[in-house]
Amino acid sequence: MSILGLGLAAVAIVAAAAAQQPVDREGLNEEALTPEQFRAAHASLTAPRNPSDHGAAVTDKVARRIPANRTEAVVRRNFVDDHIFGEIERVGIPHAPPADDGEFLRRVYLDLIGRIPTPGEIRSFLADANPNKRATTIDRLLEREEFSEKWAYFYMDLFRANGKMGRGRELFHYWLKENLRSDRPYDEWVRAMIASAGKSSNVLAAANVIAREHVQGKAQPDDGHDWGMVHQLDTHDELTILYGKVFLGINLSCISCHDGASHLEEVNVYLAGRTRNDFHRQAAFLGNTRYLMYWEDGDVKANEFLIDDLAPGYDTLGPSMLRIARWGGDASPKFLLTDEAPLSGENARDGLARMLTAHPQFAKATANLFWKQLMGYGIVEPYDEFDLARQDPDIVPDGWQLQPTHPRLLDDLAADFRQSGHSLKHLMRSICNSSAYQLSASYPGEWHPSYRRLYARKFVRMLTAEELHDAIAVATSRPGRFRFGGDTVGMAMKLSEPQGAPDLKYLLRTFGQSTRRNPPKPWNGSVRQPLALMESPVVSERVKAEKDSLVQRLLASYEDDDKVVGEIFLATLARSPSSAEMSVALEELSRDRVRGAENLQWALINNVEFFFNH
């Protein structure tokens, strides 16, 4: 197909943004690492971060396609803007102008519901004279079913919800959507995920996080006890690491194997002062928990569990299948961040859930996680590598820099989140309503990499694999065909798990679709991505003028080629064509109207402006 000369520079752009190679982690279970080996293993944490890791090159390229002739001053709409624009003014640099209505609408649709807006939705929004229409649109999107679908899928990826949950995976997916739809207080979610007891597969949805993290023991335990089919101690440890990363933003992996001293001084000041016994005492909150394979009709049901709290406690000398041998120490539960123990008579997991969700770090980690999702990168990066010794701008250890870009903003986001009753919708509403979120990706003047930390313009991000599929489906009016329970659905974001035919699976995996076997990876650009998109039948078949596609309907409805071109641009890029783009497109249609219209939409889908959110 012709590319119409519309500036398809995707290969070079994405290649320029390719991230660092992953660090080889082999050998980290060994205690006797030399200092040189340890530095090499943790190089990705200690090395200065190149702005291209966050897509700076791509932001610059995409932003050049966005008109930059707007000069309106921004209005400070909430406390987010007070922090962001206050710091920009203090430093004395220019910031991007506000995004125009079309740019804003496409952005907020993708960020909140994982879809691009339809031409009808775009026209309606652009024609609306209400000065509060952006806030109204945000509120409306937060109530759409697609909101709960997108963010349920996000959490399914985050918790790697796969076959290790057995039949409980679908229950967990339903539970997530119900929580999101009703805006259930997030601290209640988390307490349920930590402290649930019962049957995971079809009784207690929240217990499936525990089921997912189980470490397989022996199929036929030597002692004959069913609980030996799961390695109980290692499961305690894996859950402790998961809770630390997802709910507190702290990576406890290293101190699960060794003391922080003589290991983490160059990585994390706070954890350098913590010991392996501190980790074991944190894991000891789960020490009474048993993970029992569920039996039904005389057979064990793989990956389905009965979870109770009748175990004897955490054994700090117990064997491990994943780490070096435990070397003993105090086995009583102690919360890492406060040194608290469970209350007298309190179930230990209930105590952990209470302490964790009440601690300010829980709200800060959650606010930072969603700020990252909506703004492109976190106030603290990576989101699960907080160094608690470097959060206060008034107390920074010698030789270190403050970790958060905007520590007071993060404090205020966390406080606002708590005061809202831990409402995720409120948190997202606060961010999206800010002028900082609504800045254009286009930047007047010369961009300097140091401006990134100031959020002086909106940073672009590549669409997730599922967003990409659903954007193609909406743009072409040709949805997919996925099995979901007893139904057939057209959008990938509706599903509880990744699926698709080979061509679709190849495309989505190329664009970073999670296998849910490993933790989600940060976006890594690849030359394969634009090449896969250009040659994929997922695109080429859906732009054809057949099977009630957008192109077919437009050609049948309009004799005016200007109208056809304008509608294809609006449906695909959520904007009208420039005069130069209109001229090139009309010339293509004049040679072969059907083929030209097909080529036009194919080229626009292959444009970086389509598969990035800006």
Residue written as tokens 């009208």?
576
Helices 579-591 and 593-605, packing angle to 10 deg: 140
pLDDT of residue 134: 98
DSSP 256: G
The pair of structure tokens assigned to 193 is 């995920």
- What is the mean pLDDT of the segment spanning 26-34? 37
The pair of structure tokens assigned to 2 is 């012709």
CA distance between the termini of the chain: 26
pLDDT digits (tens, 9 = 90+) for 341-368: 999 999 999 999 999 999 999 999 999 9
pLDDT of residue 72: 60
pLDDT digits (tens, 9 = 90+) for 244-254: 999 999 999 99
Whether the CB-CB separation of 291 and 214 falls below 8 Å is answered with yes
pLDDT-derived band at 229, boundaries 50, 70, 90: confident
The rounded Cα 571 to chain-centroid distance in angstroms is 26
Listed in order, strand segments (DSSP E) in 268-328 are: 290-296, 299-308
Calculate the average pLDDT of the chain.
87
Checking if the pLDDT of 21 tops 80, the result is: no
Checking if the pLDDT of 421 tops 50, the result is: yes
- What is the mean pLDDT of the segment spanning 574-598? 97
Q: In sequence order, what are the beta bridge partners of 301?
A: 294
* Identity of the residue numbered 374: L
The helix/strand/coil state of 139 is helix
- What is the mean pLDDT of the segment spanning 298-303? 71
> Which is it for strands 487-489 and 299-308: parallel, antiparallel or unpaired?
unpaired
C-alpha distances in Å from residue 438, one per residue of 133, 244, 432, 458, 571: 13, 32, 7, 7, 22
pLDDT of residue 220: 73
Checking if the pLDDT of 22 tops 50, the result is: no
Whether the CB-CB separation of 242 and 160 falls below 8 Å is answered with no
- What is the mean pLDDT of the segment spanning 570-575? 97
* DSSP output for 409-443: HHHHHHHHHHHTTS-HHHHHHHHHTSTTTTB-S--
Burial 440-451 (b: 16+ CB within 10 A, else e): bbbbeeebeeeb
Work out the widest C-alpha separation in the chain, in whole angstroms: 82
Bigger pLDDT: 382 vs 63: 382
pLDDT of residue 226: 72
pLDDT digits (tens, 9 = 90+) for 403-417: 999 999 999 999 999
pLDDT of residue 24: 31
pLDDT of residue 256: 97
Give residues with Cβ within 8 angstroms of 104, minimum separation 6: 134, 438
List the single range of 169-173, 268-272, 388-392 with lowest mean pLDDT.
169-173
pLDDT of residue 300: 72
Q: Break the chain down into helix, strand, coil percent, rounded to 5.
A: 50, 5, 45
pLDDT digits (tens, 9 = 90+) for 424-480: 999 999 999 999 999 999 988 888 888 989 999 999 999 999 999 999 999 999 999
Distance CA 63, CA 607 (A): 13
Best-predicted range by mean pLDDT (49-63, 296-310, 329-343, 439-453): 329-343
Distance CA 574, CA 557 (A): 20
pLDDT digits (tens, 9 = 90+) for 64-108: 554 444 446 789 999 999 999 999 999 999 999 999 999 999 999
375 closest CA partner among 474, 447, 441, 446: 441
Checking if the pLDDT of 54 tops 60, the result is: no
Bigger pLDDT: 583 vs 221: 583
C-alpha distances in Å from residue 76, one per residue of 239, 433, 434, 435: 42, 10, 7, 6
3-state secondary structure 379-398: CCCCCCCCCHHHCCCCCCCC
Whether the CB-CB separation of 253 and 241 falls below 8 Å is answered with yes
pLDDT-derived band at 518, boundaries 50, 70, 90: confident
List the single range of 4-18, 29-43, 155-169, 498-512 with lowest mean pLDDT.
4-18
The pTM (predicted TM-score) of the whole model is 0.89
Burial 311-325 (b: 16+ CB within 10 A, else e): beebbbebebeebee
Checking if the pLDDT of 52 tops 50, the result is: no
Whether the CB-CB separation of 183 and 425 falls below 8 Å is answered with yes
% of residues, the chain, pLDDT over 70 = 86
The helix/strand/coil state of 332 is coil
Checking if the pLDDT of 28 tops 80, the result is: no
pLDDT of residue 44: 41
Q: Is 299 exposed, middle or buried (0-12, 13-18, 19+ CB in 10 A)?
A: exposed
pLDDT digits (tens, 9 = 90+) for 480-511: 999 888 889 999 999 999 988 999 999 999 99
pLDDT of residue 304: 79
- What is the mean pLDDT of the segment spanning 516-525? 73
pLDDT-derived band at 33, boundaries 50, 70, 90: very low
